[in-house]
Amino acid sequence: MKLKEKVDFLINKLEEIYPTLEIPLNNKDPYTLLIAVLMSAQSTDKKVNQITPILFKNADNPYDMIKMTVDEIRNIIKPVGLSPTKSKGIWNLSKILIEKYDGNVPEDINMLEELPSVGHKTASVVVSQAFGQPAFPVDTHIHRLMYRWGLSSGKNVQKTELDAKRIFPKSKWNELHLRIIFYGREFCPARGWDIDNDTITKTIGRKSIINKLIK
């Protein structure tokens, strides 16, 4: 199957499986999305969605957030993991948003990446989901699937992102990255992978991987 055929099949199949999309992290504005995405590092969306209502009840904007201490933030977000680093990042970026951006989250991805604890993936999610700018955030699911589908070398997430942006239409990036994540969680996980239920990989995946799995 040629690359264009793979891409067309993939897009059509994912749109068929997931015709409507919801942003997995609960939020009400760019600031609460930014904080939720930051908290999701090495955690799960489910756990973050359990903790953010508690945090946002106390502070759902940068002005209220810096009224709390780093330790107070840490005690609330401890269940999501990495709370010492995340709590400092949340407090410090909130202070910077007030000082530099009048309390607003900047729409520019480069400005976002300059904020404490905000990496490229987090910034990409925010510009994509909060501001509708084309971006292709790559998480572990996308990185794994792009390799299994023979669409990237699997060398690193940076290479995977470049490959995704090269082969997928820009107009599809924002929704497609979410659909791939949902598909990876449901049908193509890292562990307990049942190839018989994974239609996309069986159709377009690397033969070397499929042959090992199909009995």
| pLDDT of residue 212 exceeding 80 | no
pLDDT of residue 210: 73
pLDDT of residue 208: 79
- For residue 40, which of 55, 58, 19, 59 has the smallest C-alpha distance? 55
Tell me the mean pLDDT in the region 155-183.
97
Which of the following is catalytic: 86, 121, 163, 198? Answer: 121
Tell me the mean pLDDT in the region 202-208.
90
Q: How far apart are CA 31 and CA 200, in angstroms?
A: 36
Averaged pLDDT score across all residues of the chain = 95
- Please name each of the domains of the chain with its CATH number: 3-20+137-213 (1.10.1670.10), 30-129 (1.10.340.30)
Q: Is 121 a catalytic residue?
A: yes
15-41 tens-digit pLDDT: 999 999 999 999 999 999 999 999 999
203 in Cβ contact with 166 (< 8 Å): no
pLDDT of residue 63: 98
Tell me the mean pLDDT in the region 159-173.
97
Q: Is 212 a catalytic residue?
A: no
Other beta carbons less than 10 A from residue 212's beta carbon: 10
Which of the following is catalytic: 78, 95, 139, 172? Answer: 139
pLDDT of residue 139: 93
